[in-house]
Amino acid sequence: IIGICDWKDTTIGPFGTSLGVLETLLGIRTREDGWRYHVNQGELRDLFWKAFYSAMGPVSPEQMDRIEDARLVGMFLHNGFVYVNAEDQIPISEGSFNLKYLEA
């Protein structure tokens, strides 16, 4: 076995909404702060976006803004709700672990 894949929360969504996952590579979740970035996260972030936009080809500033908006929406959709049972989700509450993560 090389890895384990959890398909429970897998969805097909608009372009860019899964880019929030980049944050998981740039830091670590903590109980105290919700999130703590690695020391070199700025360099890693710049490197990612440079490679990303290079692979896409010409991208206008407006398109970059839309991609960033989609990334943020994806982060909120993924982290802004909790499961109350196998299928239903509710918004996270004040002081919750996921809210600390989003606020960071």
Q: Is there a domain that residue 32 lies in?
A: yes
Q: Is there a domain that residue 13 lies in?
A: no
Place of tokens 């897998």: 10
Domain count, the chain: 1
pLDDT digits (tens, 9 = 90+) for 57-87: 999 999 999 999 999 998 888 888 887 887 7
Q: Is there a domain that residue 2 lies in?
A: no
pLDDT digits (tens, 9 = 90+) for 11-42: 777 888 889 888 888 988 887 777 888 999 99
Q: Give, in order, the Cα–Cα distances in Å from 26 to each of 7, 39, 46, 68, 99.
A: 23, 9, 11, 16, 18
Contacts of 26 (CB under 8 A, 6+ apart): 37, 38, 41, 44, 45
Q: Give the range of the structural domain holding residue 59, as residue numbers without chain letter.
A: 19-103
8-36 b/e with 16+ CB inside 10 Å = b? eeeeeeeebbbbbebbeebbeeeeeebbe
